[in-house]
Amino acid sequence: MTRPEEQRLLDARISLTQQIDRSGVVLSSRLAGAFLNVPRHLFVPVFYRREGDRFIPWRRTDGDADEWLAAVYTDDSLITEVDDIHAEDAPGGGVAGVPTSSSTAPGLMADMLDALDVHEQHEVLEAGTGTGYNAAVLSILAGDRHVTTIDRTGNLTSKAGPRLNSAGFDPLVLHGDAARDLPAGTVYDRIIATASVRRIPPAWLTRLRTGGIMVVPIKGTLAGGMVARLTKLPDGTAAGHILHTPAAFMPLRDGTPPSGEVPDAVTGPSRDTCLSGRSLDDWTFSFFAQLHLPPGLIRTYARTADALHVTTLYDPADGSAAQIADLPEGPPRVTVDGPRDLWAPVETAHRLWQVLNRPRREWFTIEATTNQQTVSYTAPDGRTQRWTL
């Protein structure tokens, strides 16, 4: 590598670290040093850029190399896999589908790593290897011999391992279900997930050492995911709070196929509602709404030919469905089918959210055992609301 190339890559890492710092993340000198010393471009040599309804693979050799490098070292997430097709394996014309893996925005990574508070020789478990970039940062913070990273997708772990080695790191990279396939007998001082879960897997709770910390994105079908930071207490409970940062990580994959298909049309009784389906696109509310909805709920949304917004909720557990359509005139209209009105708890949640003065997510606490997991909010008057995950 020529000296100008070395300087260009160093300048790119400095620029990224400055972007993270300006974003408001608490960036300690150790964490800043980790981002300065991990070359992100080695872990995302190819990623997708969106063009219309397609995802086009982008390599440094595709056009302007400086533009590609600037994109890699921008504080933004980079999509690396769409419908299980890695960007490196995609045809030149790209693919259409749903993103299934990405390199997390470095600013969000830094926020979660700051909350994780990793020190040298901490035993660290990362659930969701992805590109390996986060594992590399963890390797600097804890020492690579103390980092274990697991991913269910063999194509990702087979690529991440060699890239970590090429960057000078040698953590334990495992192919398996990160919620279950943990090395026998190992306990961890820190656990971090880079994919979301609906509930914290019991194995993470039992394998976290007393006094240890875990940072886990928790998300259902709605946009407003949350990141929880919990500490393991002597009685085995993990307790903590929700971070201020909203996060919509892709779900941790466990090999279980989707449990049902959302109906295109819902036929049944209809009624007016004062709440548009678009309210679920508001991350400040959808986080709260998710607490009131069943765990297996699926949500889709679309626009009709005349540009009207339509949201559909479906619960495969009992076949209940609700469709909420904005109308050209008058209030939105709800059509329901099945044994339950799925929109009613959203309306109830929205009223309570307003009564509680639209509480921010960082005002909520979380408690988890292997049997029960709850999120709580205590109002200034001392009254506490609790929801079961």
pLDDT one-digit tens code per residue, 66-84? 999 999 999 999 999 999 8
Average pLDDT over residues 294-305: 87
Annotation marks residue 276 as catalytic: no
Query: What integer is the mean pLDDT of 279-294?
Result: 93
How many of the other CB atoms lie within 10 Å of CB of 204?
A: 25
Q: What is the pLDDT of residue 259?
A: 62
pLDDT score for 249: 86
pLDDT attached to residue 250? 85
Query: pTM, whole model, 2 decimals?
Result: 0.94
What is the pLDDT, as a whole number, of residue 253?
Answer: 74
pLDDT of residue 261: 82
Provide the residue ranges of all domains of the chain, joining segments of one domain with +: 3-89+103-195, 270-354
Q: What pLDDT, in 10s, does the model give residues 163-211?
A: 999 999 999 999 999 999 999 999 999 999 999 999 999 999 999 999 9
Dump pLDDT digits (tens) for 127-136: 999 999 999 9
Q: How far is CA 242 from the centre of its chain?
A: 14
Percent of the chain with pLDDT over 70: 98
Q: Give the residue, 269 or 304, on which the prediction is more confident.
A: 269
Mean pLDDT rounded to a whole number for the chain: 93
The single residue of 101, 196, 279, 286 carrying the catalytic annotation is 101
- Domain 3-89+103-195 CATH class label: alpha beta
